[in-house]
Amino acid sequence: MKLSEHFTLEEMLHSDTAEKKKIENRINAAEVDNLVRLCQKVLEPLRDHFHQPIHINSGFRCQALNKAVGGAANSYHTKGRAVDIPMRPGWLAYIRDHLPHTELINEGTWIHVAL
Ligand SMILES: [Zn+2]
pLDDT of residue 88: 98
CA–centroid distance, 51 to ligand 1, in Å, is 23
β-bridge pairing 110-114 and 82-86: antiparallel
Long-range contacts of 26-31 (CB under 8 A, 24+ apart): 26/62, 27/60, 27/62, 27/80, 30/80, 31/60, 31/79, 31/80
With respect to residue 2, please indicate whether it lies within any of the assigned structural domains.
no
- SS3 category, 101: coil
Per-residue pLDDT of the chain (115 residues; tens, 9 = 90+): 999 999 999 999 999 999 999 999 999 999 999 999 999 999 999 999 999 999 999 999 999 999 999 999 999 999 999 999 999 999 999 999 999 999 999 999 999 999 9
With respect to residue 1, please indicate whether it lies within any of the assigned structural domains.
no
**Torsion, CA 105, CA 38, CA 33, CA 22, rounded to 10:** -50
Q: What is the CATH number of the domain that holds 40?
A: 3.30.1380.10
The structural domain count of the chain equals 1
With respect to residue 54, please indicate whether it lies within any of the assigned structural domains.
yes
pLDDT of residue 69: 95
With respect to residue 24, please indicate whether it lies within any of the assigned structural domains.
yes
With respect to residue 60, please indicate whether it lies within any of the assigned structural domains.
yes
CA–centroid distance, 5 to ligand 1, in Å, is 22
CA–centroid distance, 82 to ligand 1, in Å, is 6
With respect to residue 3, please indicate whether it lies within any of the assigned structural domains.
no
Confirm if 63 and 82 have CB atoms less than 8 A apart: no
With respect to residue 57, please indicate whether it lies within any of the assigned structural domains.
yes
CA–centroid distance, 95 to ligand 1, in Å, is 15
- SS3 category, 65: helix
pLDDT of residue 59: 98
With respect to residue 51, please indicate whether it lies within any of the assigned structural domains.
yes
Domain that holds residue 82: 9-114
CA–centroid distance, 61 to ligand 1, in Å, is 10
